[in-house]
């Protein structure tokens, strides 16, 4: 556990990747999946799927779910732990979106489909 960074919450980290390595994010992610998503899955027949491409399925070595900041951390660090700024994405969409805003990502995605 020595590699997990304890973050003071005040320092602006260089990017989402740095945030994801903090103890605070790991605790938030655990809480989100176990207290927010798990009860919906088992009680309401809720299906977890990627917000962007719609993928749903079992976790594999190559495809799995991530938590994505709708407004990227680098553009709004104050929204890092705001539930309204978190969505579920597959690892492929999460990587493609990167630090783009939702509008930039969707516009780019639509342009590649034309």
Q: Would the pLDDT of 47 be above 70? A: yes
- The count of domains in the chain is 1
Residue 85 lies in a domain: yes
Residue 51 lies in a domain: yes
* Structure confidence at residue 17 (pLDDT): 85
In sequence order, which residues have a C-beta less than 8 Å from that of residue 25 and are 6 or more positions away? 19, 80
pTM (two decimals): 0.80
**Vertex 64 angle, CA 57 and 22, to 5°:** 145
Residue 5 lies in a domain: no
Structural domain range at position 60? 16-113
Both structure tokens of 77: 């660090």
Q: For 52-86, what is each residue's pLDDT tens digit?
A: 999 998 889 999 999 999 999 999 999 999 999 99
* Structure confidence at residue 57 (pLDDT): 86
Residue 4 lies in a domain: no
* Structure confidence at residue 5 (pLDDT): 65
Phi-psi region of 42 (alpha: psi -120 to 50; beta: other; left: phi over 0): alpha
Both structure tokens of 16: 């989402």
Contact between 77 and 42 under an 8 Å Cβ cutoff? The reply is: no
Residue 1 lies in a domain: no
CATH of residue 95 = 1.10.30
């Amino acid at each position: 556990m020595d590699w997990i960074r304890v973050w003071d919450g005040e320092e602006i980290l260089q990017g989402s990747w740095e945030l994801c390595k903090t103890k605070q994010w790991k605790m938030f992610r655990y809480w989100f999946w176990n207290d927010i998503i798990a009860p919906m899955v088992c009680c309401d027949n809720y299906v977890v799927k990627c917000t962007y491409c719609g993928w749903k399925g079992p976790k594999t070595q190559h495809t799995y779910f991530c938590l994505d900041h709708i407004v990227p951390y680098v553009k709004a660090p104050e929204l890092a732990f705001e539930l309204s700024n978190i969505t579920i994405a597959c690892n492929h969409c999460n990587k493609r979106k990167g630090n783009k805003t939702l509008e930039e990502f969707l516009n780019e995605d639509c342009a590649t489909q034309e």
